[in-house]
Amino acid sequence: MSQQFPDDFLWGGAVAANQVEGAYLTDGKGLSTSDIQPHGIFGGVVERHPGDSGIKDVAIDFYHRFPEDIKLFAEMGFRCLRTSIAWTRIFPQGDESEPNEAGLAFYDRLFDEMANYGITPLITLSHYEMPYGLVKNYGGWGNRQTIAFFERYARTVFQRYQHKVKYWLTFNEINMSLHAPLTGVGLPEGSSKQAVYQAIHHQLVASAKAVKACHEIIPDAKIGNMLLGGLLYPLSSKPQDVMETLQQNREWLFFGDVQVRGHYPAYMQRFFADRGIAIDITAEDRAALQSTVDFISFSYYMTGCVTTDEALNQKARGNILDMVPNPHLESSDWGWQIDPQGIRILMNELYDRYQKPLFIVENGLGAVDKPEADGSINDDYRITYLNDHLVQVREAIADGVEVLGYTSWGPIDLVSASKAEFSKRYGFIYVDRDDQGNGSLERRRKKSFFWYREVIASNGASLKG
């Protein structure tokens, strides 16, 4: 009998402000980089004009309906809810000297509602968005000044919510900037590697400054980083493929190495030199980077393969993150390869590397749900996916990995990040809305709702396998 989940394991779900809240200009909110990408992070930029509309402008109207949604999460037994604060609700343009009180008050109401049900908030400071004002007027994270704007925002929310929020994350999937520079660091798509890595450096410094501020202002809080857990396997046992895999895994582990160890890893020197990249790192930056995170959080959806065979690489271009498919795995409707055992491998790798607690803050299956004639939704495929991954999480715990919790992605249907689709659903709760924005926004429990309720109630003992 393998070891079970710890008694205080934080079971729950994860959403992000820009994918659920809607109310995109309400109560003084400013435009964010998410608002100017109404078709998602891979869907291009659209200048916004008064009166136009995009699917995320309303999303699932969480801004107004959160009491109903929190109640449903509580019914499933959630101990934790991960969401983010929209930076633009607090500093609408990013460079104001005073925060927007209406924005701060919204999150007070949200956190109070969670507290009513004993749900622990896990809050991301920046989930795939930043004030568009900072992009337009300052050049996003390419500009050093953005560090100070972010620090002011972070200190403001730490002060305000110090008694309500004890778990924080800095930047969502911080390594995603390599694939989506506008979303990640506020730089135009197609920016040079030099520009992107300089912006990333500024963001890493800002992340460390937020860690320091959090420790100062809320000494009993824990703050983590957040990585897209993009584990890669060698496609073959050819040493060249194994070496290439090691290097490609370092491209994302680099972020964790800086955030956990407090300095740039040695291998990046050669990485930058080989590519003619020179990063401006000041003595003050080096000192700041030494504030390191308390835990490591990550998202996990899939794995991919690496090969040195150019023909195969050519074929893979355009796949998500350009990864070469694994011939041994099945794929989701969106071509994401399903690999439950990969999460155990990843957790062991991360724990071996860092010896810090882990928090799985995203995992789930995006699928098309077809309601039956009576309106019920029998999402057995989602149950299977989640069950199989959680069994592997349990194995990792038995391997000795310390894990704080698990928040499945999108416990309620929401707008997808990549392409802003509604038809790509992750939820235990169905939301009546389609890709065109039609629908009543009514919430309905899917079959997986009852399954997850049982998993939490039994602290994982009901899992099969």
Active site amino acids:
362
CB of 291 to ligand BGP, least distance (A): 24
Interface pick for ligand BGP out of 21, 35, 69, 173 (rule CB under 6 A): 173
If the CB atoms of residues 176 and 288 are measured against ligand BGP, the closer one turns out to be: 176
Which H/E stretch holds residue 281?
A: none
Instruction: Candidates 4-12, 82-90, 277-285, 413-421: pick the segment binding ligand BGP (CB under 6 A).
Output: 413-421
Rg of the chain in Å (alpha carbons): 21
Of 59-67, 209-217, 323-331, 411-419, the segment contacting ligand BGP by CB under 6 A is 411-419
Q: Which is nearer to ligand BGP, 91 or 300 (CB)?
A: 300
* Count, residues near ligand BGP per rule CB under 6 A: 14
Distance CA 72, CA 78 (A): 9
Q: Which two tokens stand for residue 258?
A: 């800086």
Measured CA to CA, the distance from residue 55 to residue 59 in angstroms comes to 6
- C-beta separation of 429 from 411 below 8 A: yes
- Beta carbons within 8 Å of 52's beta carbon, 6+ residues apart: none
Minimum distance between the CB of residue 127 and ligand BGP, rounded to whole angstroms?
6
Question: Which of the residues 423 through 462 are near ligand BGP (CB under 6 A)?
Answer: 424
Chain CA centroid to CA 393, Å:
18
Two tokens, residue 218: 């809320």
Q: Collect all residues with Cβ–Cβ distance below 8 Å to 403 and sequence separation of at least 6.
A: 6, 9, 347, 357, 358, 359, 360, 393, 396, 397
Residue 83 touching ligand BGP (CB under 6 A): no
Residue 175 vs 245, nearer CB to ligand BGP: 175
Distance between CA atoms of residues 326 and 336, nearest Å: 11
Q: What is the DSSP string of 175-233?
A: GGGGT-HHHHHS--TT--HHHHHHHHHHHHHHHHHHHHHHHHH-TT-EEEEEEE---EE
Give alpha helix (H) positions in 236-379. 239-261, 267-275, 283-289, 310-316, 340-354
Is the distance from CB of 445 to CB of 463 less than 8 angstroms? no
Q: How far is the CB of 427 from ligand BGP (least distance, A)?
A: 12
| Window of 115-123, 244-252, 263-271, 416-424 that interacts with ligand BGP by CB under 6 A | 416-424
Can residue 417 be called a binding residue for ligand BGP (CB under 6 A)?
Answer: yes
DSSP letter assigned to residue 242: H
What part of residues 292-321 is at the interface with ligand BGP (CB under 6 A)? 299
297: nearest Cα among 260, 322, 323, 244:
260
Interacting residues with ligand BGP between 219 and 248 (CB under 6 A): 228
Q: Which is nearer to ligand BGP, 409 or 449 (CB)?
A: 409
CA distance 200 to 371: 43
Site string for ligand BGP, 111-150 (x = CB under 6 A): -----------------x----------------------
Q: Does 172 bind ligand BGP (CB under 6 A)?
A: yes
- Which of positions 361-390 make contact with ligand BGP (CB under 6 A)? 362, 366
Per CB under 6 A, 16 contacts ligand BGP: yes
Q: How far is the CB of 370 from ligand BGP (least distance, A)?
A: 18
Question: Which residues ranging from 18 to 77 are in contact with ligand BGP (CB under 6 A)?
Answer: 19
- Least Cβ distance, residue 401 to ligand BGP (angstroms): 22
Considering the complex, what minimum distance in angstroms separates the CB of residue 455 from ligand BGP?
21
Task: Report how far Cα 404 is from the mean position of its chain's Cα atoms.
Answer: 16
Q: Applying CB under 6 A, which residues contact ligand BGP?
A: 16, 19, 128, 172-173, 228, 299, 362, 366, 409, 416-418, 424
